[in-house]
Amino acid sequence: MKKILVIDDDPAIVAYLTSLFSDNGYEVVDAADAKEGLEAARAHKPDLITLDLEMPGEWGPRFYRKMSQDPELKNTPVIVISGLSGSQYSISKAAASVSKPFDREKLLGIVKDLLKE
Amino acid sequence: MFKHILFATSATEACDHAARVAFNLAREFGSDLTVFHVMGIPTRGFSRTMVDVRTREKVEPDEEYSAWVCEEIKTHYSRELEKVPGCDVCVAVGYPHREILRQAREKRPDLIVMGGTTGSDEDSPYRKILPGSTMLRVARAAPCPVMVVARPAASFWGGISSIVFGTDFSKASDAAFDYARELSAFVKGELHVFHAVDIQKEGIFLAQDMVDARLREAVNRMRGRYGSRMEGVDNWSVDAWEGFPPVEIVKYAREKHADAIVMAHHTRTETEEETRGVTLGSVLEQVIMRASCPVISVNRHRKTG
């Protein structure tokens, strides 16, 4: 079963994404900030990460910088999910960028595309 | 280091991402923030009438009009103003670069933040006019470093913790290095010193052996020139790449996930006398227009105390 790490400080978004991905056959782990996210990524080695940008403490791009310095994580695809304007420019190497509020089918399509065997 | 930030804005969409940077930096560092807007240019020398840069209407910029423009700016930045409630909003009439520099001399900010051009708007006095746009003219004469946010990609994405310093080994670059080092130490971040070897000279591509030799020389020169001056910076590196310098700097900054690029604003290098008189480096200008992070132009050594 493919594993997705959801990093977002909004519990409602985490709950929504968790149920969306679980219902579609993915295992989900979550983290509420960048620090917790990095620990979870190292512990669980997810196949995909969804990443919020504006979070308490370190923002998403700083998580991405640290993640990309870890040889075991640097090739993990990241989908940026944020309500910030211009969020598609925030992480140039992100696999995709989705603006909040997002279309669940569109997001699922991106996830399935990235995680296909 | 960021006690006072002057945000010079056209109060249009072109400056929205610069606004995000200015307001977030002010919030992060507890800085005083002045939002400054030049309303318009007098129609003639000492005319009482001016053309408003945003509405294009001829108006008389009396106190009532100035107050109205201030209110408009406060409305435009209402969300950001919630983050920095004590911020000062002021307006002036005149040529934008002159008024911004006047404001900088009066308020003595530690940093001026500016946005990009107003795009295709041909009539705007803020538009990029070669050889010097407002931004370039301000950067050339400013009494403090000037941070330019020219693209949405260069917006605020969580603060400054990785800094790229681009050097051409000029004396002006030494001032920029001091600023980059001080900034890196202040934010306890990484400092990446970088030099780009131009593979072309007068339209002819250099042989790769010569390029390789220049790369080695550049790395050794950076280590020698800056390595012993890294007080307060634990995490630093030096690198040299070959190519078209402004693009290489932008690519390198992307590779390092840089939050800011620091470069010198200067007119000549110490080794290439033939470049004497060249206005604000075309390399810096290209970097500003292409970078995915804010670019800080430094034109003199920072006064301390």
Token reading at B101: 């520099």
* Residues of chain B found within 8 Å of residue A86, distances taken between Cβ atoms: 17, 152-153, 155
What confidence category does residue B118 fall into, taking pLDDT thresholds of 50, 70 and 90? low
What confidence category does residue B303 fall into, taking pLDDT thresholds of 50, 70 and 90? low
Q: What is the DSSP string of B51-111?
A: EETTT--EE---HHHHHHHHHHHHHHTHHHHHHSTT-EEEEEES-HHHHHHHHHHHH--SE
Which of B11-15, B208-212, B229-233 bottoms out in mean pLDDT, i.e. has the lowest? B11-15
Q: How many domains does chain A have?
A: 1
Please give the angle made by the CA atoms of B164, B168 and B170, to the nearest 5 degrees.
120
Contact between chains at A89 and B161 (C-beta distance less than 8 A): no
* Residues of chain B found within 8 Å of residue A89, distances taken between Cβ atoms: 151-153, 155, 292
What confidence category does residue B139 fall into, taking pLDDT thresholds of 50, 70 and 90? confident
The ranges of chain B annotated as CATH 3.40.50.620 are 4-151, 162-298
Contact between chains at B157 and A92 (C-beta distance less than 8 A): no
CATH number at residue A106: 3.40.50.2300
Contact between chains at B161 and A64 (C-beta distance less than 8 A): no
List the alpha helices (DSSP H) in chain A.
11-23, 34-44, 60-68, 104-115
| Statement: residue A20 has pLDDT above 80 | yes
- Best of B257, B259, B292 to substitute, by most chain A Cβ atoms within 10 angstroms, is B257
Question: Which CATH number fits the domain B162-298, given the four candidates 1.20.810.10, 3.90.1720.10, 1.10.10.10, 3.40.50.620?
Answer: 3.40.50.620
Please, how many CA atoms are within 13 Å of residue B66, restricted to the half-sphere of its CB? Answer: 12
Assess if CATH 3.40.50.620 describes domain B4-151: yes
* Residues of chain B found within 8 Å of residue A59, distances taken between Cβ atoms: 157-159
Per-residue confidence (pLDDT) for residue B267, from 0 to 100: 47
Round to whole Å and give the CA distance between B177 and B194.
Answer: 11
- Best of A89, A91, A92, A99 to substitute, by most chain B Cβ atoms within 10 angstroms, is A89
pLDDT tens-digit readout, A32-80: 999 999 999 999 999 999 999 999 989 999 999 999 999 999 999 999 9
Token reading at B140: 């050339």
Distance to chain A for B141, nearest Cα, Å: 31
Shortest CB distance from A53 goes to which of B157, B161, B292?
A: B157
Cis peptide bond N-terminal to B42, omega within 30:
no
pTM: 0.86
Mean pLDDT value across residues B153-164: 91
* Angle (deg, nearest 10), helices A60-68 and A34-44: 30
A21 contacts A46 by C-beta, under 8 angstroms: no
Q: Which DSSP symbol is given to B13?
A: G
* Residues of chain B found within 8 Å of residue A85, distances taken between Cβ atoms: 16, 152
SS3 B113: strand
Strand partners, B134: none
Q: Which domain holds residue A40?
A: 3-115
Per-residue confidence (pLDDT) for residue B281, from 0 to 100: 55
Strand partners, B6: B34, B112
Contact between chains at B257 and A60 (C-beta distance less than 8 A): no
